[in-house]
Amino acid sequence: MARVKKKRLLLRREWCKGCNICVAFCPTHVLGLDEENRIQILDESRCIECYLCEWRCPDFAIELVDLASEEADGAKEGAA
């Protein structure tokens, strides 16, 4: 069943130390490490927005961003 996406993943590659914690414990295998051993998204459509990657990352390098509030912020900026 297709789900409505409420969040998107925000990666801070420059803070990532390639520990693999988020990759190994993601229940739906959304994440991977790239050739420089830093976080990358393999397939975001599989993300179930469980937050476990964000909560276990030791380096603030991955975060779920709320799409609705991001849109609202965008609208505000547009109006300004």
Partner 1 sequence: MATLDYVRRRFLPHIWCPGCGHGTLMATLVRAIEELAIPKDQIVMASGIGCSSRIVGYLDLHTLHTLHGRALAFATGVKMAKPDLHVIVPMGDGDALAIGGNHFIHACARNIDLTAIIMNNQTYGMTGGQVSPMTGHGERATTMPYGNLGQALDVVAVARAAGATYVARSTVYHAPQLKKLLMKAIQHRGFSVVEVLTQCPTYYGRLNQRGDAVEMMTWFKEHAVPVGSDARKDDPARFEVGEFVNVERPEYCASYDEIVTRLKPREDEHA
76 φ, ψ (degrees, to nearest 5): -60, -45
User: In terms of CB distance, is 60 or 75 closer to ligand SF4?
Assistant: 60
Q: How many residues bind ligand SF4 (CB under 6 A)?
A: 26
How many other C-beta atoms are found inside a 10 Å radius of the C-beta of residue 17? 13
Residue 24 contact partner, candidates partner 1, ligand SF4, none, CB within 5 to 8 A by sort of partner: partner 1
Nearer to partner 1, 32 or 63 (CB): 63
What beta strand segments (E) does the chain contain?
A: 7-11, 31-33, 39-41, 62-66
Supply 48's token pair. Answer: 């179930």
Binding site for ligand SF4 (CB under 6 A): 9, 16-22, 26-28, 30-31, 39, 47-53, 57, 59, 61-62, 64
